């Protein structure tokens, strides 16, 4: 099953302006995790030198929790 994300221009502008607004993970540097909405959690990495945001994982909250 393929997963596709549809980003609006408004969402992309808000995400680019404040990429560190979600909770930082304790294990890795520049990796953040938090809810996109009530049923979806996103994990992403910020690369400040390249000025990029890399999406690592998008998962449902109804699945087994991450350790």
Distance CA 33, CA 26 (A): 10
Question: Which pLDDT value is given to residue 1?
Answer: 43
Residue 37 lies in a domain: yes
- The per-residue pLDDT string of the chain (67 residues; one tens digit each, 9 = 90 and over) reads 445 666 677 666 666 667 777 888 888 888 998 888 788 888 888 888 887 888 888 888 887 766 6
52: tokens are 């990029």
- The answer to the question of residue 57 being in a domain is yes
pLDDT of amino acid 31: 92
Query: Is residue 8 one of the residues assigned to a domain?
Result: no
What pLDDT score was predicted for residue 48?
82
Q: For residue 12, what pLDDT is reported?
A: 67
Instruction: Give the per-residue pLDDT at 7.
Output: 67
Query: What is the total count of domains within the chain?
Result: 1
Element housing 12 (H / E): helix 9-17
Q: Which domain holds residue 65?
A: 23-67
């Amino acid at each position: 099953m393929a997963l596709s994300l549809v980003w609006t221009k408004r969402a992309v502008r808000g995400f680019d302006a404040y990429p560190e607004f979600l909770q930082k993970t304790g294990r890795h540097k520049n990796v953040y995790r938090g809810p996109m909405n009530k049923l979806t959690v996103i994990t992403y990495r910020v690369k400040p030198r390249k000025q990029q945001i890399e999406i690592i994982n998008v998962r449902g909250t109804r699945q087994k929790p991450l350790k």
